[in-house]
Chain A
Amino acid sequence: MEQRDLVTRVLQGDPGAERELYDAHVDRVYRLAYRMVGDSELAADYTQDTFIRTFERLATFRGESALSTWITAIAISVVYNGQRKVRRLRTREVELEHAEPVAATIRRADPDLKARLNQAIGELPEGYRTVFLLHDVEGYTHEQIGSALGIQEGTSKAQLSRARAKLRTELAAFAGDVAS
């Protein structure tokens, strides 16, 4: 009910309500964006874009899911689109510099579990990585993830399971040590 009221007040042009909505959700959006991209400027850009779109589209929010889930869906879409552009740019830069494959070098050089884990998470397919970050790192439920990503709960669970399996494989060298 409070959520509906807040949305109504924002739609009526109440600037205080806009700020209230922003304050209620900005930390979660920024955290998620940062987890996904690992860069404070990009995370801030994506967070801003998320809220600009949120205010722009708020009239279409029908309340079928929680407002937070609806905003998370926008945030993920903004990050995905933004990262595609970033990747295109970086690919061009790498082509220009004729760079050697960096990942392979790091893999051999860094035996530390956390560094290896960070790299393995970064190398997960986009869908797996998003579900893994949302569930295991940010604590979203499968229901929330399903709503935010527009997938079934079962799909979310399956993707998480595959993400973990992939990470286990990638970190097999450490599995014996940490699980014993």
Chain B
Amino acid sequence: MMDEREDRFDEILREAARDYNAPPATPRAEMWERIQAVRRSDGQADGILPFRPTVRLSARPTVRLAMAVAAVLVLGVAIGRFTAPDSASNPTPTTIGPIADATTETAERPNVATQVATSNHLSQVETFLTEFGTSPGTPDFTDQAKDLLGTTRMLLDSKRVVDARTRTLLEDLELILAQIATLDSKDRREDLNFIADGLAQNQLRTRLRNAIPAGPAIRL
């Protein structure tokens, strides 16, 4: 009696189980194409068929390393070509030296007014950063930072600022000034540490001093 019930239950079970993960139509053609592609891609080269292409790749770290190096090189060349100023039309002075360099040929020299404006701006930023460094908690620094950030961006947008070192310096300053300009009035300790680290790592004050011609500091 018990066996009969079990048999009947098993039969019903089998019947119901036929719907368990009922398979859809077999994607024959797609799978065949992929099998052929995998076999063609590697199997014929050395007589050994790969189980999966990814397994093959992971088994050859030297190939991966070479591909990574090549990719970095290509990326670097591409970035360099996009970002480097056109040396034929815009010769790059080696230092900012705004007044001294102004004696070179008229066609090649950068606009003197731009150089003076840049020097003034860098001097203002240096003063600002020195004051900020001594009392970073003062709230009105954010407004000054916003003003200086605006000028920094304007100079970066100007095609007349062609010196590569000056542009790099302005880009680094832009980042620091943006951080100061967006300082939260509360809980700013972490941000201040971050800014201090950025100033130190980029040697911003030293670079600023080197870029500014000798003379009195410009008051903000």
Give A contacts to B, CB under 8 Å: 19, 22-23, 26-27, 30-31, 34-38, 40, 43-44, 47-49, 51-53, 55-56, 113-114, 117-118, 121, 132-133, 136-137, 164, 167-168, 171, 175, 178-179
In the complex the two chains form, is B12's CB within 8 Å of A114's CB?
Answer: no
B interface secondary structure, majority: helix
CB contact between A178 and one of B12, B31, B43, B48 (< 8 Å): that residue: B12
Chain B contact residue count (CB 8 A cutoff): 32
Residues on B with beta carbons closer than 8 Å to the beta carbon of A175: 5, 9
B30: Cβ under 8 A from any A Cβ = yes
Residues on B with beta carbons closer than 8 Å to the beta carbon of A36: 21
A interface secondary structure, majority: helix
In the complex the two chains form, is B13's CB within 8 Å of A167's CB?
Answer: yes
CB contact between A168 and one of B6, B24, B27, B34 (< 8 Å): that residue: B6
CB distance from A76 to the nearest CB of B (A): 15
**Which one of B21, B28, B43, B51 has the greatest number of beta carbons of chain A within 10 Å?**
B21
In the complex the two chains form, is A30's CB within 8 Å of B17's CB?
Answer: no
Residues on A with beta carbons closer than 8 Å to the beta carbon of B17: 117, 121, 132, 136-137
CB distance from B35 to the nearest CB of A (A): 5
Asked, given contacts A114-B16, A121-B17, whether A52 binds B10 with beta carbons under 8 Å apart, the answer is no
**Which one of A52, A118, A121 has the greatest number of beta carbons of chain B within 10 Å?**
A52
